[in-house]
Structure 1
């Protein structure tokens, strides 16, 4: 192998790229810019979702909070009927409602936690829905049973358990469907829209069964 003694050749080896310092500086600047851009992109990916989450006074937060409360009463009514009814079809319906709505409460509370929001708010019930004043009666959301009605259901026996449960749950479902349909119209959150649509579909189906069972029980 021939070793050159030419100083120019040595300079070429020592300085890659033909010994052009300016080109090296540009390459390092390009790499640095790329790394900075990647870092900023990652940071934006982490931060932007937080900034785009629904706020505490949003339609979504209000709906999830109110519907969680609404569902909780339906679960309680269903557990009372499940424990005290002797009608197998009503026991099954009560179990289905309790399990479904308890699961939906889990979704709603998880989303509120993910959004760093409190499970309860400071606003009045239904404040998220425009012109909702007429749908709130004595502080109760649409379809919700009064404390007196709940107390009567707890004490009911025999046929009255079935009649009261079905009557109260029918009104409860109608109110819940109204709330869910409003949420679908007002919200632009995909998860909330999906859940509200599921509620409307499920409760409309259960309403048909409730009407059938109520007629049978009242006629017996």
Structure 2
């Protein structure tokens, strides 16, 4: 089983709050009039090996690191544009992560698995190690370098790492949007593709403005 991605304390607190909110919403849905006492209702949950469950697990980990990187750069620069992007990514991806973990809870599926990363995509991906568990993820060494950087150097490093992260994330989301068996995952994944592609374009412009390419 893969080891968990290291997270900063602020990221952990924010992630926990979002997860509690998501689980609260799930509980309300289960208790509301739309949920029946039909014993067959649980059979509608996607299987443990489904695209939906695999994507929710893997993308939760992927999002976790994007939020962590954004918290790091927020404290390493005073640039308003970069801090605004980091804030948007923290809020968007922490919220999406909470939704996915909430769905796993509602479906009665474990939030982690011994299956290799990306197995739901039919990939035989081998993690490159040093904390990089899936495509696009930064290594622990790269995260440590980001923590040590300041100002313009931190901005450029963050934008490059996040561009790589988003490109892989968008590919994962596109695969899930095409193959998901639930409306929840299909719609969420399609929205991720649009959002991350837009931010990739924004980050390219920001790198150019700082005299660096992606």
- What TM-score comes out, normalization by structure 2 length? 0.78
Q: Which residue of 1 aligns with 2:108?
A: 116
1:196 aligns with 2:189: yes
Match of 1:99 among 91, 94, 106: 91
Check the 8 A contact 1:75/1:101 in 2, yes or no.
yes
Deviation at 1:48, TM superposition (A): 2.0
Shift of 1:182: 0.7
Q: Match for residue 149 of structure 2?
A: 156
Structure-2 residue corresponding to 1:174 = 167
1:163–1:218 Cα contact (<8 Å) kept: no
Q: Which residue does the alignment assign to 1:26?
A: none
- Kindly indicate which of the two structures has a greater share of residues assigned to helix: 1
Q: Which runs of 4+ in 1 moved over 3 A?
A: 134-139
Which is bigger in relative contact order (C-alpha 8 A, separation at least 6)? 2
What are structure 1's unaligned runs of at least 5 residues? 1-43
**Count of aligned residue pairs for this structure pair:** 175
Query: Residue 119 of structure 1 aligns to a residue in which SS?
Result: coil
Shift of residue 45, structure 1, vs aligned partner: 5.7
The structure 2 residue matched to 1:81, chosen from 45, 51, 73, is 73
The alignment status of 1:127 with 2:119, answered yes or no, reads: yes
Query: Rg bigger for which structure?
Result: 1
Deviation, 1:122, is: 1.5
Q: What is the distance in 2 between the residues matched to 1:78 and 1:95?
A: 7
1:213 is paired with a residue whose SS is helix
Give unpaired runs (5+ residues) of structure 2: 1-35
Give the TM-score normalised by structure 1: 0.76
Q: State the shift of 1:184 in Å.
A: 1.3
Q: CA RMSD in A?
A: 1.6
Q: Distance in 2 between matches of 1:159 and 1:134?
A: 34
Provide the rounded CA distance (Å) in 1 between the counterparts of 2:48 and 2:134. 19
- What's the offset of the Cα at 1:133? 2.4
Cα offset for 1:137? 3.7
